[in-house]
Structure 1
Amino acid sequence: MMNRQIPSPSSARPLARLASRARPAALPAVLLAVLLAGCASPDPRYYTLAQGPDTAAGQAAAPARPPQAQPLWIEVAPVRVPERLNRPQLVVRDGKDSGELKLIDLARWSAPLPDELRDALSQQLQARLGAVDTYQQGLSGVEPVYRITTEVVRLDADVGQRAGAVINWTVRRLPDGKVSAGRTQSELPAPGAIDGVVAAYRQIVASAAADIAAGVEGLRR
């Protein structure tokens, strides 16, 4: 029979010391993983100015006009905006009287702001006028009857308080060049956080679309 040798207490001590040294060495890696998980940046939220089927309460959707036998051909040109606003992030006031602006990095437009504004205006105008936007639809072979150009002079907000805008617009009847021009000025409450600001901006776009639609109707008479 073979005899198994049992290590003496004195020979086991170095092994125990080695194991005790190895365990703490693994702790920093675990702590580092926990810290990295806790410090991970949240994903940004993306916003659009277009009206959806779930239009929020208090927002007036564009009244739809019945389809016409002959569509009203319009062209909604790209919207001009100040360069300071032409950012992926929402630009708001800093909440002080300094006149400074700040970017909200976690709140971004789903498309460049000029495109957001153009698409939202086009959506509203097509619904209000029963029209077809040749620019949006890519109808290069169709001559529009009315060309609509807009320029944002001011678009700003104090988060949780108010939002305002000044938008200049022009409607030109292409066959004879007759023009109707105007300015939409709006100041609205924007309660809550960024969602409230975007909801107010949508209402401002709807107000501008209503004014522009009235300009088109004036030229049609």
Structure 2
Amino acid sequence: MKRLTVSAALARCAIAGVMGAAVLAGCASPEPRYYTLAQGPMAVATLPAATPAPSASTLWLEVAPVRVPERLNRPQLVVRDGGNDASLRLLDLARWSSPLPDELRDALSQRLQATLGAVDTYQQGLSDVQPLYRITTEVLRLDAEVGQRAGATINWTVRRLPDGKVVSGRTQAELPAPGEVDGVVAAYREIVASTAKDIAAGVEALRR
């Protein structure tokens, strides 16, 4: 039987080590990617830099948490599975940066504040301020087919608190969502923008 030289043995050990590291790297799980419905930095810059001091001219809103169906209230994005209306799929590698009800509420609040020049009092600790309008929303449908489309049906209500007068409506949308998950999230952002626009029109109707 031939004996391996020390150098040959070391070479074989080195090769085995490299192969083992490659196998381990191949088995490592890919990291999930996180998505948000918030606007980009340039849009955020249109919001007030700080909460203004209370004044008679300030438009105070309270944007309540958004109600969503429990089937959608997941860390992962939920999409239709191959166009089958009865089948849903969780995208384990595509997740919301915060719970979906919070993502929707914060995105709506951000856009309403920018559109109306208003301030949202929700969770800001403004005990000496009473909002003039309370906004509630409920998602009836929010679904997509990756690479195809995204759609939603969202009910909303604006209540003027001093006298309880209400304006309500429904925003429905069907948009193309080309590409991968990024296309779905972009379409959802457009749907949030349309919803905020409709709600802002409701607020303006009550201000007349």
Q: TM-score when scaled to structure 1?
A: 0.82
Higher mean C-alpha deviation, range 22-31 or range 147-156: 22-31
1:82 matched to 2:69? The reply is yes
Aligned in 2, Cα 1:98/1:172: closer, same or farther, shift over 3 Å?
Answer: closer
CA–CA distance in structure 1, aligned partners of residues 135 and 64 of structure 2: 6
**2:23 match:** 35
Count of matched residue pairs: 201
CA–CA distance in structure 2, aligned partners of residues 154 and 28 of structure 1: 54
Judge conservation of contact 2:150–2:187 (CA < 8 Å) in 1.
Answer: yes
**1:210 match:** 197
Q: Aligned partner of 1:200: which letter?
A: A
**Structure 2 residue matching 1:135: 3-state secondary structure:** coil
CA–CA distance in structure 1, aligned partners of residues 85 and 201 of structure 2: 38
Q: Structure 2: where are the runs of 5+ without partners? A: none
Judge conservation of contact 2:74–2:100 (CA < 8 Å) in 1.
Answer: yes
**1:184 match:** 171
CA–CA distance in structure 2, aligned partners of residues 98 and 52 of structure 1: 32
Per-residue CA deviations over 1:50-91 (Å, capped at 9, x if unaligned) read 111367xxxxx9x989x9972101000000001111111111
**1:165 match:** 152
Q: Aligned partner of 1:48: which letter?
A: T
1:46 matched to 2:34? The reply is yes
**Structure 1 residue matching 2:189: 3-state secondary structure:** helix
Q: 1:137, CA displacement in angstroms?
A: 2.9
CA–CA distance in structure 2, aligned partners of residues 212 and 99 of structure 1: 31
Q: 1:30, CA displacement in angstroms?
A: 3.6
Q: Aligned partner of 2:102: which letter?
A: D
Q: Aligned partner of 1:74: which letter?
A: L
**Structure 2 residue matching 1:217: 3-state secondary structure:** helix
CA–CA distance in structure 1, aligned partners of residues 148 and 9 of structure 2: 59
Q: Percentage identity across aligned positions?
A: 73
Q: TM-score when scaled to structure 2?
A: 0.87
Q: Aligned partner of 2:57: which letter?
A: Q
**1:71 match:** 58
CA–CA distance in structure 2, aligned partners of residues 22 and 204 of structure 1: 62
Higher mean C-alpha deviation, range 185-194 or range 134-143: 134-143
**Structure 2 residue matching 1:81: 3-state secondary structure:** coil
**2:90 match:** 103
**Structure 1 residue matching 2:86: 3-state secondary structure:** coil
**Structure 2 residue matching 1:42: 3-state secondary structure:** coil
Q: Aligned partner of 2:19: which letter?
A: L
Q: 1:33, CA displacement in angstroms?
A: 1.6
> Whose radius of gyration is greater, 1 or 2?
1
**2:78 match:** 91
CA–CA distance in structure 2, aligned partners of residues 79 and 18 of structure 1: 71
Q: Structure 1: where are the runs of 5+ without partners? A: 1-12, 56-60
Report the RMSD for the aligned CA atoms in angstroms: 2.6
